[in-house]
A and B are shown apart, each in its own frame.
Chain A
Amino acid sequence: MNPVPTDGGPGAQGAAPVLSARSVVQRFGATLALAGVDLDVRSGEVLGLVGANGAGKSTLMAVLAGLLAPTEGRVEIDGSAVTLGTPAAAAAHGIALVPQHVETALVPELSVAENLVLDRIARGELGALPSRRRIRAEARAIAGEELLERAGIRLDDRAGSLRTAQAQQLLIRRALHRGARVLILDEPTAALSVTEQRELHAQVRRLAADGTAVVYITHHLAEFVGLADRVVALREGRVVDEFSTPIEPARLVSAILGPIEHLPDERPVREAGDAVLSLRGLRVRADAPTVDLDLRRGEVLGITGLLGAGKTELLRQVVGAEPLVDGSMTLDGAAFAPEHPADAIARGLGFVPEDRRRDAELPEWDLVRNTTLAELRPHRRFGLLSARSERAATAALIRSLGIVAAGPRALLSSLSGGNRQKVVVARWLAAGSRVLVLDEPFRGVDLGARADIGALIRSSAVEAAIVASSDPEEILEVADRIIVLADGAVAGEFRPDELDEASLAELLVASTEKDPA
């Protein structure tokens, strides 16, 4: 897609691009993270960047901030190609990134003043033995008396004691002092209070008015209203759409998710029985509204919502991975209060976590040991584990789930993503779990494996299941009933055959609309 000259916002009109990506392609091994992205950032504009998980936002930012050298294509500054490759090179060209986790950009043990001038000390600009007074004076000049006063920042405090908003302000000041013309803010409001958010928005507008280009990334789409001059949507490593003011969050959601294709065949929607698992008064966070849910026998309950809606937070409480923030649960009519995943497993729950690599895999173990981990007792003979029994159980599951592997003794790391996910699901079947809770089970999973896992979840081997995904299409494939979660609240409920794109998009941003920001 070619850069379209749009009538941007107030500051962007007709300005020449200061920073551009030209046909940028980024490959990680076999994964194509960016599939030819063209992007222009103009002086004096606030450019919003949106996309689902894995759409390529972070990769694109890393390329623009010099953290990654693109596989193909180039980055241009003021119209001429440059090689960034390192953050220092990007800084020299006036590009600065303020990361989402601001603490990663600071050395917590050093003072605020030392952090502000750290790059200058490193370059030797302050001499071999800079005096405390010199450091303080330089730092004061960078931060500005007014900010230190207003935000109550003391230069001698340890940087580790700064609040997120304070650290963020200091990083922005430091970047501007170094002559940044392009400021990239990655999820800047994720850890800010409402007041701090408002202040940041005002500041971003001021910076743009002064001619700085600001690239702004957030998943709180309502933030863009009144803030961004232009919003670019990424999907599957491509720029798929571009919006100018007025920004409508519901249209952004549609762009992020892409067209939802209704299922071609009439999949029977099963009528569910009595409640297996009931949640009453749960909260995804202490300050979130309460959530009441019933999972009924014989159904697959889909939960969808944008990134940050609270799906993972909710599911991890249900399976005992995190303590309940509030409320209570019942399972099969009896009180259910798991204090450890083991308690939930003993009651017949199985949990497929969102981050498979970190939370489920033992990559250097073979399939047998990965499969039997959650329940080893049935494989004991005379106190020792029977290799034959474990192997037989695993081989049966490999067959019934269609896992492609060299055999039961193949290492998990030798399998493709989809097959690894099948092994994680097999672990719960091997443990005799009746109720499955799956968080983003189709991420990084090929279509074939996705269909197999979907069929398994809907089979009689599973009594009931909860499937959460930020991709409504995945949910439509497997769910009998769909709950939409927005900002920790249940925003709506659908049957898969009544779902339409427009109303879903509206529900997904439902509670962000009400955001005071």
Chain B
Amino acid sequence: MTTTSLADRLRDGVYRSGLLVLLAALIVYFAVTLPAFGTPRNAVIILQSVAITAIIAMGVTISLTVGGFDLSVGSNVSFVVMLTTAAQVYYEAPPVVAVLIGLAAGALIGLLNGLLVVVARVPDLLATLGTMFVFAGLALVLTAGQSVSSGSIVSGEPAPGRITEPFAWLGRGVVLGLPVPVVVMIVLGVVVTVMLSRSRLGRLLAAVGGNADAARLAGVRVGRIKVTAYVLSGTLASVGGVLLAARLGRGDVGVGGSYLLETVAAALIGFAVLGANRPNGFGTLVGAVFVGVLLNGLTMLNVPYYTQDLIKGAILVGALVMSFSALFKRKDAS
């Protein structure tokens, strides 16, 4: 392919940077037409609206990297929200302990997923579909189906503990002018992106996803790598769960459910960023921000809220067509 025509190069360019160009164009368009859009304050609002989604989506990205799929992240979030709030309100756990319990629970859910996939050999989608159901149910069982908030009534008496300020700070606090969840998103986004693209673990994760047989014969312990991927995915989902509980200041039943589709969408849209055609950390971040910008701008244009899912779905389908049709084209050429 030494003699690429202008049209070819153009097509390649659109395909490689299409999503980024589109994102820039959207921002410019909204900023010009909507005076309220292009303000630093609104930028923070957009980032805050996508922060938790982006963090969980980083985990989904890791599971996709090994050729797996973690469907249980939404239930994981729900479960961790109930667990951390119940620990504080029902059992007077200090915030630090509550956070650690939440993160440990997320890691254990990931470990369970990994063992189901690797040891019990259940296909990824089915294993995590199963645990998705189990932990959505367990989140309800934990509090007998009740929401948890400071002053909840347990067995006829007010609960002893409450959601404390230090815990709520995780969801509502501000560091260097940025909300804490946004700071966490940026830090974890960088860490996961660097891990996936520059570390030995990231290379091995990608090798397992690319060709597990070849990876095994090259000495990669495929089972361990897969379990690691699910543990990381579960842990990142629980980080999202802790931040969500802190932002809400209470444990609402089933609050994590919507995160499954959102995060999967962000990770899959990320496939199309920079022509990667595979899960990548930076792409996932861009995918999450893209959805946030679009919804924020459209809301300001008075597009009704009930069209949001439709819009997200349309973006996802468009991005998928972009990356998979290009993938097929490349395969044909070789």
Give the interface of A toward B (CB within 8 A).
Answer: 319, 321, 340-342, 345-346, 351, 353, 358-365, 369, 373-377, 380, 383-385, 413-414, 427, 431
Do residues A351 and B203 form an inter-chain contact, with CB atoms below 8 A?
Answer: no
Q: Interface 1/0s, chain B 200-224, versus A by CB < 8 A? A: 1001100100110111111111000
Residue of B nearest to A383 (CB): B199
In the assembled complex, which residues on chain A have CB atoms less than 8 Å from the CB atom of B211?
A: 358, 361-362
Across-interface contacts of B221 in A (CB, < 8 A):
340, 342
Q: Are A341 and B216 in contact (CB under 8 A)?
A: yes
Q: How far is the CA of A359 from the CA of B211 in the complex (A)?
A: 8
Do A359 and B199 form a contact, CB below 8 Å, given A342-B220, A342-B221, A414-B334?
no
Q: What are 12 A-to-B residue pairs whose CB atoms are below 8 Å?
A: A321-B217, A342-B220, A359-B213, A360-B217, A362-B210, A362-B215, A364-B278, A365-B210, A373-B220, A380-B200, A383-B199, A414-B334
Residues of A within 8 A of B277 (CB): 364
Which single residue of chain A is at the shortest CB-CB distance from B327? Answer: A364
Q: Taking A321-B217, A345-B219, A414-B334 as contacts, is the C-beta distance between A385 and B194 under 8 angstroms?
A: no
B198 at the interface (CB under 8 A from A): yes
Which residue from chain B places its CB closest to the CB of A319 in the assembled complex? B217
Give Cα A431 to B220, complex, Å. 13
Which 9 pairs of residues, A with B, have the shortest CB-CB distance?
A: A342-B219, A345-B219, A374-B218, A384-B198, A362-B210, A376-B200, A373-B218, A413-B334, A359-B213
Tell whether, in the assembled complex, residue B219 and residue A385 are in contact, meaning their CB atoms are under 8 Å apart: no
Distance in Å from the Cβ of B203 to the closest Cβ of chain A? 6
Considering the complex, which residues of chain B in the window 215-235 have a beta carbon less than 8 Å from any beta carbon of chain A? 215-221
A361 to B207, CA, bound (A): 10
Interface string of B12-51 (1 = CB under 8 A from A): 0000000000000000000000000000000000000000
Other than the known A359-B214, A373-B220, A385-B203, what 13 A-B pairs have Cβ atoms closer than 8 Å?
A319-B217, A340-B221, A345-B219, A346-B219, A358-B211, A358-B214, A360-B214, A361-B211, A363-B334, A364-B277, A364-B278, A376-B204, A385-B199
Find chain B residues with CB under 8 A from A361 CB: 211, 214
Residues of B within 8 A of A383 (CB): 199
**Bound Cα distance A492, B109 (Å):** 57
Check A353 against B334 for contact (C-beta < 8 Å): no
> Across the interface, do B198 and A385 meet the contact criterion of CB distance under 8 Å?
yes
Which residues on B sit within 8 Å (CB–CB) of A376?
Answer: 200, 203-204
Q: Which residues of A contact B194 (CB under 8 A)?
A: 384
- Asked if residues A384 and B199 are in contact (CB atoms below 8 Å), the reply is yes
B227–chain A nearest beta-carbon distance, Å: 15
Question: Interface of B with A (CB < 8 Å)?
Answer: 194, 198-200, 203-204, 207, 210-211, 213-221, 277-278, 334
Q: Which residues of B contact A346 (CB under 8 A)?
A: 219
Closest Cβ of chain B: how far from A286's Cβ, in Å? 23
Contacts of A342 in B (CB 8 A): 219-221
Q: Which residue of A lies closest to B216 (CB)?
A: A341
- B198 cross-chain contacts in A, Cβ below 8 A: 384-385
Q: How far is the CA of A345 from the CA of B200 in the complex (A)?
A: 17
A321, A340, A377, A414 interface centre (most CB from chain B within 10 Å)? A340
In the assembled complex, the CB of B283 is this many whole angstroms from the nearest CB of chain A, namely 16
Query: Please, which residues of chain B bring their CB within 8 A of the CB of A365?
Result: 210
Max chain A CB contacts within 10 Å: which of B194, B198, B204, B214? B214
Q: Contact between B199 and A362 (Cβ–Cβ < 8 Å)? A: no
CA distance A321 to B194 in the complex (A): 32
> Quick one: closest A residue to B200, CB to CB?
A376
Bound complex: CA A359 to CA B213 (Å): 5
Does A385 contact B200, Cβ atoms closer than 8 Å?
yes
Complex alpha-carbon distance, A384 and B197, angstroms:
9
CB distance from B187 to the nearest CB of A (A): 17
CB neighbours (8 Å) of A414 from chain B are 334
Least CB distance from B83 to A in Å reads 32
Cross-chain contact A362 with B220 (CB below 8 angstroms): no
Partner pick for B214 among A340, A362, A380, A385, CB 8 A cutoff:
A362
In the complex, what distance in Å separates the CA atom of A425 from the CA atom of B157?
72
Q: How far is the CA of A340 from the CA of B227 in the complex (A)?
A: 17
- Neighbouring B residues of A384 by C-beta, 8 Å: 194, 198-199
Within the assembled complex, what's the spacing in Å between the Cα atoms of A345 and B216? Answer: 11
Cα distance A498–B330 when bound, in Å?
50
State in angstroms the CA–CA spacing of A377 and B200 once bound together: 8
A340: chain B residues at CB < 8 Å are: 216, 219, 221
Contacts of A413 in B (CB 8 A): 334
Complex CA gap A137/B199 in Å reads: 65
Query: Using Cβ atoms and an 8 Å threshold, which residues of chain A touch B203?
Result: 369, 373, 376, 385
Q: Chain A CB within 10 Å — which of B203, B219, B278, B334 has the most?
A: B219
Residues A341 and B218 in contact in the complex (CB < 8 Å), given A362-B207, A364-B210, A384-B198:
yes
CA distance A359 to B216 in the complex (A): 9
Closest residue to A340 on the B side, CB-wise? B221
Give Cα distance in the complex from A321 to B216, angstroms.
8
CA of A321 to CA of B214 in the docked complex: distance in angstroms? Answer: 11
Q: How far is the CA of A358 from the CA of B218 in the complex (A)?
A: 12
What is the bound-complex CA distance between A377 and B218, given in angstroms? 14
A385 to B198, CA, bound (A): 5
Known: A361-B211, A362-B214, A364-B210. A374 touches B219 (CB 8 A): yes
Q: Smallest Cβ distance from B191 to chain A, in angstroms?
A: 12
B304 → A minimal CB distance (Å): 42
Which B-chain residue is minimally distant from A352 (CB atoms)?
A: B217
Q: Which of B198, B211, B217, B334 has the most chain A CB within a 10 Å cutoff?
A: B217
How far is B257's CA from A202's CA once the two chains are assembled, in angstroms? Answer: 65
Q: Measured between alpha carbons, how far is A413 from B216 in the docked complex, in Å? A: 20
Contact A358 B219 (CB under 8 A): no
A residues less than 8 Å from B220 (CB atoms): 342, 373
Cα A319 to Cα B219 in complex, Å, equals 10
Nearest A residue to B211 via CB reads A362
Q: Are B200 and A373 in contact (CB under 8 A)?
A: no
Which residues of B sit under 8 angstroms from A385, Cβ to Cβ?
A: 198-200, 203
Q: Return chain A residues, CB-CB under 8 Å to B207.
A: 362, 373
Enumerate chain B residues within 8 angstroms of A360, measured Cβ to Cβ: 214, 217-218
User: Roughly how many angstroms separate A427 CA and B220 CA in the complex, as a whole number?
Assistant: 13
Bound CA span A99–B203, Å = 40
* Cβ–Cβ < 8 Å partners of A427 in chain B: 218
CB-CB nearest in chain A for B215: A373
* Complex: A375 Cα to B218 Cα, angstroms: 9
| Complex CA distance for A77 and B217, rounded to whole angstroms | 48
Chain B residues with Cβ below 8 Å from A353 are 217
Residues of B within 8 Å of A375, CB to CB, are: 219
Chain B residue with Cβ nearest A390: B203
Known A360-B214, A362-B214; judge A341-B219 contact (CB<8 A): yes
Which chain A residues lie closer than 8 Å to B214 at the CB level? 358-362
Specify which chain B residues have a CB less than 8 angstroms from the CB of A380 in the assembled complex: 200
Q: How far, in Å, is A368 (CB) from chain B's closest CB?
A: 11
Assembled-state Cα–Cα distance A342/B220 (Å): 7
User: B157: shortest Cβ distance to chain A, in Å?
Assistant: 52
CB distance from A341 to the nearest CB of B (A): 5
A361–B214 CA distance with the chains assembled, in angstroms: 6
- Bound-state CA distance A340–B220 (Å) is 9
* Distance in Å: Cβ of B147 to nearest Cβ of chain A: 43
Give B1's nearest chain A residue, CB to CB: A414
Instruction: Write the nearest CB–CB distance from B142 to chain A, whole angstroms.
Output: 38
| CB-CB nearest in chain B for A414 | B334
Closest partner residue, chain A, to B331 (CB atom): A413
